[in-house]
Amino acid sequence: MQGAGHRVAITGYGVVAPCGIGKQNYWKGLLGTTAINSVSVGIPDWDPLPYFSNPKEARRADRVEQFALAAAQEAFAQSGLPEVAPSRFGTIFATGVGGLHTLEEQVAIRLDKGDRRVSPFLVPMMMVNASGASISMKYNLQGPNETLCTACAASTHAIGYAARMIAWGQCDAVVTGGSEAPATATSLAGFGNMTALSSSGSSKPFDVSRDGFVMGEGAAVFILERFDMALKRGAKILGEIVGSASNADAHHVTAPSPGGVGAIACMQQALEDAQLQASQVTQVNAHGTSTPLNDSAEASAMTHVFGPHGVAVTSGKGITGHALGAAGALEAASVLLSFEHSLIPPTAGTTNVDPAMEIDLVIGAPRRWTPGPTMSNNFGFGGHNGSLIIAPG
């Protein structure tokens, strides 16, 4: 990262996703061809008990927190606990809406049964910082503990911010990522009534017939640490955060700036931070939500930055749906798996790329590649833009 005092290594990560629990099951799911046929896709038969000390503890955690702890367990199992003081180990986490299931359930109970029946655990279960707080307490992480809530760009922002905390010497290690469980009845009604959801129940990023996104859920958690300290303790380096950027469209609460002007600036700032030329980026993991306006603006932005058909592009949302604040974390995990397997996963659901888009979208089958610097982009309601550049370890 430009001007940084320390390089930032990724030494562990974990994933909970609708297409697979655990990162290798997630990867198998990303390579699958099962089409979504619903306005939302969730994690079937979810069992939180393996990630908690007892059933009571699990019941007192919203689904979003359960996902976060499950992904964190896999991440720490891979990395081991970095050899840093607890006060130098931070937690920078992300979500878009937090414990929405708990909030909606308790509102229904209050309306039906009265104030006295509302759970005393409502507040700690619904608060957006619950996931990061629970991770820090479970692993005794006493450094900065902050939660970012920048809609669908939140996880990308969190990972970039976490890397800067290490690069600038504020922390020696940080656990980061994001979690989301947003598909409640009221949430789906709201997104549906604003015509953001797919009317056909199908996610087709950049397809000429795209008609909205499919709601997803899940979590991905990463262990970042100082590169030199990770090498010293013999940790395996899975990847390196080499650049990131964040900016705002300042245009509209839900629509992107025309032509992807804000996204262009964000991607260029990330390249500058990484001290890379656009030609050195060999894959873009796109936001690719399958909405008409956002896909169009993002495609225009990528063409501006990388040239027509200038870089391989993929989106996982045809398989995972759109996990809002956790999307960037799930997609960063996809990048690391792409490094490991030397494959770029296809953009599921997409069969006919919009001819107005001059992008090299990977569709139909995975594409073999030589892993290199990869950009992961996410853009959120409110005009939030986030770009992250990850290099192979």
Which residues are catalytic, by number? Answer: 152, 287, 322
Integer Cα distance of 127 and 134 in angstroms: 11
> Do residues 238 and 12 lie in contact, with contact meaning Cβ atoms separated by under 8 Å?
yes
Please report the DSSP string for 303-363 in residue order: HHHH-TT-SEEE--HHHH-B-GGGHHHHHHHHHHHHHHHTEEPP-TT--SB-TT---EE--
- Max alpha carbon distance in the chain (Å)? 61
Q: Give the separation between CA 332 and CA 286, rounded to whole angstroms.
A: 11
Helix axes 63-79, 130-138, angle to 10 degrees: 40
Tell which residue, 239, 235, 254, 217, has the closest CA to residue 95. Answer: 217
What Å distances lie between residue 119 and 47, 111, 122, 233, CA to CA? 22, 13, 5, 45
Q: Rounded CA gap, 278 and 148, in Å? A: 28
Antiparallel, parallel or unpaired: β 360-361 and 312-314: parallel
Of residues 44, 20, 36, the one with CA closest to residue 337: 20
Rounded Cα–Cα distance for residues 278 and 312 (Å): 12
DSSP annotation of 353 reads B
